[in-house]
Amino acid sequence: MEYDICRASEPDSPLFANNSIYSAYWKDAQKLFDSPPSKIPSTDAQLFQKHRSENIRLFAYSTYVISEFLDNYPEGFCYALFDADGCLFRLLGSETMLQALADDGITAKTSWKLENIGPNAVTVGLAAGCQMSTVGMENYALPLQKYALYFAPVTLQNDYPPHALIENGGIAIFVPAEQHRPEYSLLAFSLANNIMVNIHFLLRNSQAHDAKGLGVLFLDISFASRKVTINHYNQKLFEILDIPPCDIAFRPVEVLFDPPPKNQDFWSIIQKRKYLRDHEITLSVQGKEVRCILSSDINDQPSLHVLSVVLSLTTAKEISSSVAQKMGNGAVRTFDDIIGSSAALRTAIDRARVFAQTDSNVMLLGESGVGKDIFAQAIHNGGSRRGHPFITVNCGALPRDLIASELFGYGSGAFTGAKRSGNIGKFELANGGTIFLDEIGELPLDLQATLLRAVEQKEFMPLGSSKVVHLDVRIICATNADVITMMEQKQFRADLYYRLCTMSLEIPPLRERGNDPILLANYFIQKTCMRIRRPTMMSLSPEAQQLLLELPWQGNVRELQNMIENIVQLYPGERIMRQYILDYRKNTFGSIRSSPTVSSPLRLPKKTPHRDLLSAQEIISAIETCGGNRSAAAKKLGIARKTLYRNMERLGILLE
């Protein structure tokens, strides 16, 4: 049905019969205006920029969607994009139509508000939040009466309560009034729906990526010009790329990544639409190089005029931190967990607190069982790396052939039995945090050299891999060995020792800690009783307390803890008697250590010299003396059987 553009002079016209909403707005306009407005007012340039920046996602993405449809419609056709306040952001259409609208004062930056220009499809559609169309003189303002307007709102709400609006505005189609077609209303609705679906898809995908702790970058590629535009990013991206946060929304991707000839690998991903997973790449970002791990996903739908790339970026350090947290290798102890009030212990704690505020390597010295691991955790948690990985490696517990792969990792197929995907080493897992090398004195000499190179150069290469891993790790070492004597005997590298021992802390043995054995015993009693749900809490008799102060405690805190747990679980009653302690020591150590020696000063047995390196004569003599029995020979030499075989291999000794 054709419309006469002069039919709508009165609100009671049949043209309004089926639209009571529009009729009401028309009546209000007749009260507000003396006569129909003769021009569309403009928005101040500064205010227009404010409107545009606040609605940049709606503006840019709608423009992108609309531009793909321009070639498919007739010459006298134009799209208009509005925000919620009626600011006309942009007009897209044929040159003929754009010029005709401009001649009538209808341009971008004009303000379409009911109080300024009265009712029409745009002003009423925005006010009522509904789809609307007006033709000819249904438009109250005189400049609009030549045209037919078809408006559809673009309204998005947050998926989660309180479901606040995140996008609001609308899209309109302008055609000359004599070209009015009802199907143009459907086209406006389809375009608005397309914009909402795509923005919603963009937001949901970005939220999913944000939840993974990755840097996210959504790129749109124009079908016509092949220009690459940033249409979404998150704040984590700037952290990954190590640049200050800035506004890059809907700007060319070159504002972030330097253009060719730099970033050849990156531009190849875009141009060739590569799907990648955990691809290591060096990016030139605003003039500086950044090493990243990148994954890409391509959304290529020509029929929908959609070509986009979703990039997820992280770093080896971020991955290491995530893996370390999943492995449960975090430090849980703090200085508050160290129990004791003796002057010797408080001095050690005060010194460790100072160490925690630095980033230097630390060597913890002390007998077995004094709590070196707890001090290491406390130093980590007391410093700036507390939120990063804390990885523990017991150098004395790892088989010699596996120490290198455990510390530094290996690549795919590095050796027989290796995982196909390779393995991340402990140093890489600790990147950004702390690695605790316990029993460092047990590390073989050849691996000491490898460790020294990694510490000095701040980088290493995993076994069987060509990638270089850059280190940002604090090293805390611990040993109960006499490292100075080991260096004199060429059993520990002096250069490695001085690299690791930037700061050293000797933790006092339990027998030198005054009344601390009683404090610790009471703590372990309470802890054990609660754990096993003992109906009555035990306590130490005065005689038992005195005995605790007299014992030598060669096993230190660990020995005390084991003894208390044994007594609490085996003996009835509420008192721990002196005899319970003596019985435990007799059953555990025999008669030699069942009673304390209080008549002479306490002395620790002299430490057994490190036996990692033996001479050929020593080995051959021991094996011959033991009749060829190598297990007996190892025992005679005071070493493990594996150590014997390692020395035989080193010296080339082949015995039948």
Find all residues with CB under 8 Å of 227, minimum gap 6, and list them.
221, 252
Find all residues with CB under 8 Å of 600, minimum gap 6, and list them.
none
Please indicate, yes or no, if residue 642 is contained in any of the structural domains.
yes
Dist. CA 251–CA 208, nearest whole Å? 23
Phi, psi at 435, each rounded to 5°: -115, 130
CB atoms within 10 A of CB 470: 14
C-alpha dihedral (376, 381, 387, 393), degrees to nearest 10: 10
- List pLDDT tens digits, range 3-14: 333 334 444 443
Q: Are residues 520 and 492 in the same domain?
A: no
pTM for the complete prediction?
0.52
- 531: CATH: 1.10.8.60
Q: Are residues 500 and 515 in the same domain?
A: no
Letter for the amino acid at 380?
H
Find all residues with CB under 8 Å of 155, minimum gap 6, and list them.
129, 165, 167, 168, 169, 196
The last residue of a domain, from among 262, 286, 314: 314
Rounded mean pLDDT, 332-351 = 92
Dist. CA 216–CA 635, nearest whole Å? 60
Q: What is the pLDDT of residue 636?
A: 78
Q: Are residues 301 and 442 in the same domain?
A: no
- 491: CATH: 3.40.50.300
Q: Are 242 and 257 in contact (CB under 8 A)?
A: no
Which helix H or strand E contains 93, and what residues bound it? strand 88-93
Nearest Cα to Cα of residue 22 among 122, 104, 113, 152 = 122
Dist. CA 114–CA 311, nearest whole Å? 44
Q: Are residues 381 and 405 in the same domain?
A: yes
Q: Are residues 156 and 288 in the same domain?
A: no
Question: Which of helix, strand or coil describes residue 209?
Answer: helix
Q: Are 517 and 339 in contact (CB under 8 A)?
A: no
Dist. CA 483–CA 490, nearest whole Å? 10
Dist. CA 479–CA 395, nearest whole Å? 10
- List pLDDT tens digits, range 185-199: 888 888 887 777 666
Q: Which residues pair with 399 in a beta bridge?
A: none
Which helix H or strand E contains 292, and what residues bound it? strand 288-301
Rounded mean pLDDT, 576-602 = 69
Q: What is the pLDDT of residue 11?
A: 44
Residue 500 DSSP code: H
Domain of residue 566 covers 510-593
Q: What is the pLDDT of residue 329?
A: 52
Find all residues with CB under 8 Å of 19, minimum gap 6, and list them.
none
The length of the chain is 656
Please indicate, yes or no, if residue 65 is contained in any of the structural domains.
yes
Q: Are residues 403 and 293 in the same domain?
A: no
Show the tokens assigned to 104: 């009538």
Q: Are residues 156 and 245 in the same domain?
A: no
Nearest Cα to Cα of residue 539 among 557, 525, 520, 550 = 525
Q: What is the pLDDT of residue 232?
A: 75
Dist. CA 42–CA 35, nearest whole Å? 19
| pLDDT above 50 for 70 | yes
pLDDT band with cut points at 50, 70 and 90 for residue 512: very high
Q: Are residues 516 and 499 in the same domain?
A: no
> Given 3-state DSSP classes, what are the helix, strand and coil percentages for the chain, each rounded to the nearest 5?
45, 20, 35
| pLDDT above 80 for 226 | no
Q: What is the pLDDT of residue 313?
A: 86
- 46: CATH: 3.30.450.40
> Considering its fold, how many domains does the chain have in total?
5
Which of 20-29, 347-356, 412-421 is the most confident on average?
Answer: 347-356
Q: Are residues 530 and 628 in the same domain?
A: no
Q: What is the pLDDT of residue 275?
A: 82
Please indicate, yes or no, if residue 600 is contained in any of the structural domains.
no
Please indicate, yes or no, if residue 608 is contained in any of the structural domains.
no
Specify the range with the lowest mean pLDDT, choosing from 18-27, 445-454, 466-475: 18-27
The last residue of a domain, from among 464, 480, 506: 506
- List pLDDT tens digits, range 387-401: 788 988 888 887 777
Rounded mean pLDDT, 220-230 = 75
Rounded mean pLDDT, 534-559 = 92
Q: Are residues 134 and 230 in the same domain?
A: no
- 252: CATH: 3.30.450.20
Please indicate, yes or no, if residue 450 is contained in any of the structural domains.
yes
Please indicate, yes or no, if residue 8 is contained in any of the structural domains.
no
The last residue of a domain, from among 152, 172, 203: 203
Q: Are residues 217 and 150 in the same domain?
A: no
Question: Which residue stretches of 274-399 are H helix?
Answer: 316-327, 343-356, 372-381
Q: What is the pLDDT of residue 607?
A: 40
Specify the range with the lowest mean pLDDT, choosing from 121-130, 169-178, 229-238, 292-301: 292-301
Which 3-state string (H, E, C) describes 3-43?
CCCCCCCCCCCHHHCCCHHHHHHHHHHHHHCCCCCCCCCEC
Q: What is the pLDDT of residue 49?
A: 80
Q: What is the pLDDT of residue 458?
A: 87
Specify the range with the lowest mean pLDDT, choosing from 139-143, 460-464, 492-496, 540-544: 460-464
Please indicate, yes or no, if residue 584 is contained in any of the structural domains.
yes
* Mean of pLDDT over the chain: 80
pLDDT band with cut points at 50, 70 and 90 for residue 104: very high
pLDDT band with cut points at 50, 70 and 90 for residue 63: low
Instruction: List, edge to edge, every strand of the sheet that includes 88-93.
Output: 88-93, 78-83, 165-176, 147-157, 132-135
Please indicate, yes or no, if residue 599 is contained in any of the structural domains.
no
| pLDDT above 90 for 287 | no
Dist. CA 373–CA 350, nearest whole Å? 17
Q: Are residues 62 and 90 in the same domain?
A: yes
Rounded mean pLDDT, 125-149 = 91
Q: Specify burial of residue 608 (Cβ count, 10 A radius: 0-12, 13-18, 19+).
A: exposed
Where residue 317 falls (left for φ over 0; alpha for ψ -120 to 50; beta otherwise) is alpha
Q: What is the pLDDT of residue 112?
A: 93
- List pLDDT tens digits, range 481-505: 888 888 888 889 999 999 999 999 9
- Compute the radius of gyration of the chain from its Cα atoms: 39
